[in-house]
């Protein structure tokens, strides 16, 4: 009697490193967001210095101007990848509340794995995959040849050396934490 071929066992992927990209004009609003994020999600792990402005390909058509400053806020809490839609919803609530003080504030949640960096979005596009509850996911970087490779459609922000440097360090920290498990 021949044994049945075994089917591959499905397993849940390891938790991902959670981060927020915040575009803003008013520094005080950024720090209020940081407080809200720490209260709702977890303590800050890493925080970038102010980075070059986040640009949007359809900036002229947006409902409000974009802020001059952008920061990346990495949080200690590891997330399940399927949490991205609920985290996007929570960030949208923060954004709506903070827009009373800074109409330019925009919050983009995402996660980092050893292999890629994924950003949540509320906008549909050719390269985005629909998750649920109006949220799409977009792979921004893949890790190949010991470095992050921005995808051709990735916003220019992700091609800047300061941004790649931040995410390279975040990945190194994340992979090291996985090795200690």
Tens-digit pLDDT profile for residues 5-38: 667 788 889 999 999 999 999 999 999 999 999 9
pLDDT: is 39 or 11 the higher one? 39
Helix (H, G, I), strand (E, B) or coil at 4: coil
Q: Which tokens sit at 132?
A: 């649920």
Q: List, for residues 44-56, the tens digit of each pLDDT value.
A: 999 999 998 877 6
CA proximity to 18, closest of 177, 176, 179, 170: 170
How far apart, in whole angstroms, are the C-alpha atoms of residue 114 and residue 117? Answer: 8
pLDDT tens, position by position, 107-162: 999 999 999 999 999 888 888 999 999 999 999 999 999 999 999 999 889 999 99
Domain extent listing, the chain: 16-56+65-180
């Amino acid at each position: 009697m021949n044994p049945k071929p075994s089917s591959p066992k499905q397993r849940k992927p390891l938790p991902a490193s959670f981060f927020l990209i915040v575009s803003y004009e008013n520094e005080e609003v950024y720090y209020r967001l940081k407080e809200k994020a720490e209260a709702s999600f977890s303590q800050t792990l890493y925080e970038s210095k102010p980075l070059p402005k986040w640009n949007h390909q359809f900036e002229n058509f947006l409902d409000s101007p974009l802020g001059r400053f952008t920061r990346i806020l990495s949080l200690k809490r590891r997330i399940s990848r399927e949490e991205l839609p609920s985290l996007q919803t929570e960030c949208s609530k923060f954004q709506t509340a903070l827009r009373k003080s800074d109409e330019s504030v925009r919050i983009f949640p995402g996660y980092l794995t050893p292999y890629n960096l994924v950003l949540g979005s509320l906008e549909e596009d050719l390269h985005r995959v629909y998750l649920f509850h109006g949220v799409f996911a977009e792979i921004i970087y893949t890790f190949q040849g010991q470095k992050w490779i921005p995808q051709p459609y990735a916003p220019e922000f992700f091609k800047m050396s300061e941004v790649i440097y931040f995410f390279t360090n975040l990945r190194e920290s994340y992979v090291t934490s996985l090795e200690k498990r």
